[in-house]
Structure 1
Amino acid sequence: MGTKSVRLGRLHSVTAAGLGMAAGVIAAVAAQRGTLDAINRRLERLEEQASNQQRANLAMQQRQHWELLSKAIDDPELAEVLDLYEVPVTTQKRRQYLFANAAYTNLLNYHRIGNLTLDEFFKHARALFQNAIVRDYWEATRHDRDSLEGTEEAKIAQMIDELLLQLDEADTGEWWVVGEPPTDQ
């Protein structure tokens, strides 16, 4: 009988120790889970801050781009620095091309910072490219876009090229229905 009682005591001790160990493991896992949740929340805040910073940087770059183009539009001597067209253009045409560049870049950056979906960008671009000067600019700068292969901007430029082909081939005067807007990715 004494042996049974010693065994039962040891069994209770082993059981208590096992339960204590299990409780310790559960507490450690819960503490780690809390730490992991805190780390995940911090990472999400950092990602959001990085995204906001990227948009702010893009907005700053767009302002700088506009300032440079404005100076070139206002001063024909400065505009000559940006004259990279394959065929000579008049001062008036160069100023128009610079403004077309500003209008297109503004639209592109508006999409990049998330203010326009790709579908909305497409619809605005379809309207912008109704202007003959903007189309001339687009053609005159084709060689610039050829060097963008593999970039997001190259994909968007290809979308514009396809839209222009569709507009040229359309047998309707209702340009606002021509082309299939892309799906946002």
Structure 2
Amino acid sequence: MATRKTRVRGLGTATAVGLGLVTGAVATLAAQHRALAVLRLRLDHLEKRVATSHRDANLATQQRLHWELLSKAIDSPELAEVLDIFEVPASPQKRRQYLLANALYTNLLFYYRIGNLSREDFYGRVRGLMQNPVVREYWTATHGQRATLPEGSDEADLGRMVDDLLRQLDEADTEEWWVVGEPPTE
């Protein structure tokens, strides 16, 4: 009978050791699973940052090209005729002014798109920009172009916001233009 007890004890020890190994392996697998989940989250975050950086770099390149083209048109009345897509006839001088107004507005739009301006900041800056009568004329002369923008795009949404702001400015009975309109919430 002594042998049996030893065997049972040996079996119990072996089972305990095996159970300990299995428990250790399960704990190690759980820890590895958590570490893998953290690594996946970090990788996803990095991929999003890289994608955003690429998008911002592409927007910056586009902004620079846009400015170069507008600069050529502003400097040359002959080249500016190519960009004369305004709804009202414009003299060469007026066309150049409209092209600069376009550059100013596009610059604000770009700053918004890359996150340098909040929607509220954009609103405040465009409210100041629209105090210039030439910029307002430009805005009116390009209404048809904005109507072709894809519904839901940043540019279309911000354009409608500016249209609403101009309507409020026109209806306001105060000279304090900087308080007219309700800045949008994010």
TM-score of the two chains, using structure 1 as the length reference: 0.92
* Identical pairs, percent: 52
1:70 correspondence with 2:71: yes
| Counterparts of residues 12-161 of structure 1 (less than 5 Å) | 12-148=13-149, 149-161=151-163
Tell me by how many angstroms 1:62 deviates.
0.7
Secondary structure in structure 2 of the residue aligned to 1:181: coil
What amino acid maps onto 1:9 in structure 2?
G
Tell me how far apart the structure 2 counterparts of residues 14 and 183 of structure 1 sit (CA, whole Å): 64
Secondary structure of the residue that 1:179 maps to in structure 2?
coil
Other-structure match for 2:183: 181
Corresponding letter in the other structure for 1:29: A
- Number of residues paired by the alignment? 184
Spell out, residue by residue over 1:107-150, the C-alpha distance to the aligned partner (whole angstroms, 9 max, x if none). 11111111111111100000000111111111111111111122
Counterpart CA distance in 1 for 2:176 and 2:41 is: 51
Match of 1:10 in 2: 11
Q: Per the alignment, in what secondary structure is the counterpart of residue 184 of structure 2?
A: coil
Deviation, 1:105, is 0.4
Deviations 1:36-83 (A, max 9, x none): 323332332232222222212211111110110010111111111111
Q: Which moved more, 1:168-177 or 1:12-21?
A: 12-21
What SS does the corresponding residue of 1:161 show, helix, strand or coil?
A: helix
CA–CA separation in structure 1 for the residues paired with 2:174 and 2:63: 36
Distance 2:88 2:112 in 1: 31
Looking at structure 1, the residues matched to 38 and 75 of structure 2 have their Cα atoms a distance apart, in angstroms, of 55
Encode CA deviations 1:10-37: one digit per residue, 9 max, x unaligned: 2332232122111011112222332332
Distance across 2 between alignment mates of 1:151 and 1:54: 16
Aligned to 1:166, the other structure's residue is in SS state helix
Amino acid of the structure 2 residue aligned with 1:95: R
Ranges in structure 2 where 5+ consecutive residues have no aligned partner: none
Q: CA deviation at 1:86?
A: 2.3
Local SS of the residue matching 1:40: helix
Distance in 2, Cα, partners of 1:161 & 1:87: 18
Q: C-alpha distance in 2, partners of 1:114/1:32?
A: 35
Partner of 1:173, secondary structure, is coil
User: What residue identity is the alignment partner of 1:83?
Assistant: D
